Amino acid sequence: MAHRQIAIDGPAASGKSTVAKLVAQRLGGFYINTGDMYRAVTRAVLDAGIDAENDPEAVVALLASIDLRYWLVDGVPVLHLDDAPVVQDSIRAPEVARVVSYVARIAGVRDWLRERQRETRALGTIVMEGRDIGTVILPDASHKFYVTASPLVRARRRLAQAGEVVDGATLASVAAEIAERDRIDSTRAVAPLRPAEDAIHIRSEEHTSELQSPNTI
Ligand code: CDP
């Protein structure tokens, strides 16, 4: 069967990872999470002591000294920063979430990641999730989906994800953080978060069993 490219976009904590992983599993495709790539760059930026909000030039300069790529490990794409696999705990930490949208609005960062994201097409069928996959990264994707959920559902989900929120976080504080990240992501000049014109919209609310019913795509 011909290789397929599936694009899955949507705002923070919308449930797109759950959908994307299931689709990849069903299709026997490779799951690529571009949010992890932005988060890994952000981790490197924080570790280098750079202020991403106010010093985008320093962020772009840092890129020359790092490498970030998906490598196949036992047949599964694993994101590597330089030669080490990227550890989820380190990129899902709340300090990364606070800064990642500032890193992701820098054109030089998006240019740098674009080719790294597109080169994963060589793997075969890919299911790629992010914010600009259907619009910019894989405009010719065979299938495009835009996954959303209500702000309340999204905040509840994020609050339930251990290690992703600061101690003492409340539903209101998490909802505000998500709303701010969505605001920056959808108003930036380059590749803003928005559905592709030909995307199928999916609302991912509480009835997760719906996601597990067989999907013909
Ligand atoms: O998991 P969550 O929904 O919180 O977000 P993520 O998918 O891990 O993405 C983290 C951040 O990376 C987003 O808020 C965007 O700022 C950025 N991002 C982006 O700009 N473009 C992408 N294709 C993917 C992520």
105 three-class SS = coil
Atom of ligand 1 nearest to the CA of 101: 16
Q: How far is the CA of 170 from the centre of ligand 1 (A)?
A: 21
Q: Give the pLDDT score at 204.
A: 87
Of all protein residues, whose CA lies closest to atom 15 belonging to ligand 1? 101
Q: How far is the CA of 130 from the centre of ligand 1 (A)?
A: 6
Confidence of residue 188 (pLDDT cuts 50, 70, 90): very high
How far is 140 from 109, CA to CA, in rounded Å?
22
Q: Give the pLDDT score at 211.
A: 45
Q: Give the pLDDT score at 207.
A: 54
Q: How far is the CA of 1 from the centre of ligand 1 (A)?
A: 31
Can you tell me which residue has the tokens 């196949």?
72
- Sequential DSSP letters for 32-57: EEHHHHHHHHHHHHHHTT--TTT-HH
> To test the ligand 1 pocket, which listed residue (79, 131, 144, 204) has its Cβ within 8 A of the most ligand atoms?
131
Confidence of residue 205 (pLDDT cuts 50, 70, 90): confident
How far is 7 from 132, CA to CA, in rounded Å?
9
Q: Give the pLDDT score at 217.
A: 40
Average pLDDT for residues 141-161, to the nearest whole number? Answer: 95
Ligand 1-lining residues (CB < 6 angstroms): 12-13, 34-35, 38-39, 100-101, 104, 130-133, 181, 185
Beta bridge partners of 85: 80
User: 74-120: per-residue pLDDT in tens?
Assistant: 999 999 999 999 999 999 999 999 999 999 999 999 999 999 999 99
Atom of ligand 1 nearest to the CA of 132: 23
Atom of ligand 1 nearest to the CA of 184: 16
Enter the pTM of the model. 0.94
